[in-house]
């Protein structure tokens, strides 16, 4: 397993009752990343983020609106959803 970065900066996030999608900057790695977190009260990290599909859709919509994902990522996701590039990811 990789080391947990000692310093991060949260650049953007979306939150649904303590379930979060964050765009973070890893200062030690000098790169950006996307992190899924379960920050609900009584939960300890690291923990899997378990949501229903309906909750996930809400959280993803909020994350897109909050600019958590880059334009490039969203373009690739759109291509996958349009099934133009499906074979590449299957």
Classify 13 as helix, strand or coil.
strand
CA distance 74 to 89: 15
The model's pTM is 0.72
Are the beta carbons of 12 and 66 closer than 8 angstroms?
yes
Its domain, for residue 34, covers 8-89
Residue 2 lies in a domain: no
Residue 65 lies in a domain: yes
- Give me the number of domains the chain comprises: 1
CA distance 39 to 17: 8
Tens of pLDDT, residues 19-72: 999 999 998 888 999 999 888 877 666 567 788 899 999 999 999 999 999 999
Residue 33 lies in a domain: yes
Are the beta carbons of 14 and 59 closer than 8 angstroms?
yes
Residue 1 lies in a domain: no
Q: Which residue has the tokens 């300890």?
A: 44
């Amino acid at each position: 397993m990789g080391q947990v970065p000692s310093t991060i900066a949260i650049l953007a996030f979306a939150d649904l009752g303590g379930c979060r999608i964050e765009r973070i900057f890893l200062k030690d790695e000098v790169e950006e990343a996307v992190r899924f977190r379960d920050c609900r009260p009584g939960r300890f990290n690291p923990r899997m983020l378990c949501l229903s599909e309906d909750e996930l859709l809400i959280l993803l919509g909020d994350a897109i609106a909050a600019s958590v994902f880059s334009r490039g990522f969203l373009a690739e996701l759109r291509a996958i959803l349009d099934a133009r590039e499906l074979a590449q990811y299957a």
